Structure 1
Amino acid sequence: MSTSSALDTTEFERMLRSYHAGDPYIRKIADEQAVILDEINAEADVARRSALLKDFFKVEGDEAEKQKARVVIVPPFFCEYGFNIIIGGDLFIHKGCTILDVGPVRIGARTLIGPNVQIYTPTHPLSPEERNGLDGPEASKPIIIGKDCWIGGGTIILPGVTIGDGVTVGAGSVVTKDVESRTVVAGNPARFIKSV
């Protein structure tokens, strides 16, 4: 991520609280990251794409663990920044995944994410006057997905949700609240099905 001293960084630093998404500095960073992501999506060689992704995301662990980590994403993949996504090793994300990483998104090792999964950290005021269309404030809430999870295709994970280790989320679910480790949840909103 490059920075520019000519632009005001205040809104970028406020992203975890409340900020304005149209701020020129934030837009500049998002545009720069979009160029890098386009190159990653266009890379046909799986090993090369994996290496690019490990530089684009934050990989947990030391340099040796980072090199050993396997990161497989079937393009197209979309996110806003990339550097707000923290991953463990051996991550698989299927085609069409969208991660709105205004706030941090942590994904544990050996997690599998199905096609067309949507992970959203941004939030907006509920009052339409305060929301004020494109010019209003936004905020974000971090999302945590544990190790050894399986997130079924078409799942939507909402801001502030923590999903424990070893969780299976049924396809098409909308996860609106925290999920305990080693459970299966499904539905809209996602509900407990069983422990595993």
Structure 2
Amino acid sequence: MSEKEKMLNGHLYQAYSRELYQDREFCKGMLYEYNRVSPMDKDSRDLILKKLLNCKGELCIEQPFYCSYGYNITIGLNFYSDVNLTILDQGGVSIGDNVILGPNVNIYTASHPYNEVQRIKGLEYAKPVKIYDNVWIGGNVTILPGVKINQGAIIGAGSVVTHDIPPYVIAVGNPCEVVRSITKEDVHKNW
């Protein structure tokens, strides 16, 4: 099994293998281009993102944007991210339709073993992150490896999401905890 296959299957892998290093270098080159294209040149920005990510349709990722590989990120329809989105996508990140991310959101799938000898050898592992449809994630949120944020959930600004979030709830804090369910009355509120 190659190091890339190990990475994609959740096994310990050597992050500095030649293949993975080359994949990251390619991604860095694409991001260098993306982050330097005029914000007014939407066509060029879209073209770069479609080469780098698995996009189902139109999306808007405000510059700058950072990720590890790009090919491990799948994004649904009608996606918007404000500035400074960082996705460490070693384990795969799946984002549904109609998702909104505030500024400075960090999505991490990579982690390191507790054993110091394994860390010194450059070994790491990754767990996928899944964000379902119609999720809103506030600014300065960090999502840790293996987390699922279910349909219609709202994550408050500054939260650190360490475990799965159920559907149709508002969750906030460090660690992020459910505050309440989203109700029918919320539809009629003017924020």
Q: Shared topology, TM-score over 0.5?
A: yes
In structure 2, C-alpha distance between the alignment counterparts of 1:50 and 1:186, rounded to whole Å: 32
> Once superposed, what is the RMSD of the aligned Cα atoms?
1.3
Cα displacement (A) at 1:162 = 0.4
Cα displacement (A) at 1:137 = 1.2
In structure 2, C-alpha distance between the alignment counterparts of 1:55 and 1:89, rounded to whole Å: 16
- The answer to whether the 8 A contact 2:68-2:88 is kept is yes
Q: Write the mapping of 1:44-83 to structure 2, written as runs, cut at 5 A.
A: 44=38, 45-60=41-56, 69-83=57-71
1:98 aligned residue:
86
2:129 is aligned with 1:143: yes
Aligned residues: 178
Aligned partner letter, 2:48 = L
Structure 2 residue runs of 5 or longer lacking an equivalent are 183-191
2:37 is aligned with 1:22: no
Query: 4+ runs of 1 displaced by more than 6 Å?
Result: none
In structure 2, C-alpha distance between the alignment counterparts of 1:146 and 1:166, rounded to whole Å: 8
What TM-score, normalized to structure 2?
A: 0.89
Deviations 1:114-159 (A, max 9, x none): 1111000011111223322xx2311100000011111111000000
Percent identity of equivalent pairs: 39
Aligned partner letter, 2:149 = I
Q: Write the mapping of 1:1-196 to structure 2, written as runs, cut at 5 A.
A: 10-16=2-8, 17-44=11-38, 45-60=41-56, 69-132=57-120, 135-196=121-182
What TM-score, normalized to structure 1?
A: 0.86
3-state SS of the aligned residue for 1:15?
A: helix
Aligned partner letter, 2:161 = V
Structure 1 residue runs of 5 or longer lacking an equivalent are 1-8, 61-68
More divergent stretch after superposition (40-49 vs 14-23): 40-49
3-state SS of the aligned residue for 1:83?
A: coil
Aligned partner letter, 2:116 = P
